[in-house]
Amino acid sequence: FSLAKILGIRLNTTLIFAKTSRLQVTSSYRSASATAQGESFAMYGLDFAYKQEFFKRKLSATLKVKDPFKLHTHKDISYGTNF
């Protein structure tokens, strides 16, 4: 058997609203691939994080929302004689 090549991409961008507040958006993608016992489907996702700083940047609070659109799904197909 031969394993297929896997392509993985991760993109980050940060939007700065003021000196003390920013929003980070992270997107990721992993291509479909063959495995030793089957195959894996492509995966992609989108995450958000908001950071607010206080007291002249001596205190900060971060809120992270991981996969709000339920895109991070992992699907595999396994096959063989003993499955």
What is the 8-class DSSP label of residue 58? T
DSSP string across 23-46:
EEEEEEEE--EEETTEEE--EEEE
User: For 31-72, what is each residue's pLDDT tens digit?
Assistant: 888 877 888 888 889 999 999 999 998 999 999 999 888 877
* Mean pLDDT, residues 9-14 taken together: 94
Model pTM score: 0.72
> Phi/psi of residue 10, each to 5°?
-135, 130
Report residue 83's pLDDT band, with 50, 70 and 90 as the boundaries.
low
Q: Flag whether pLDDT at 4 surpasses 90.
A: no
Q: For the chain, what percentages of helix, strand and coil (3-state, to nearest 5) are there?
A: 0, 60, 40
Higher pLDDT: 67 or 80? It is 67
Write down the pLDDT at residue 2.
Answer: 47
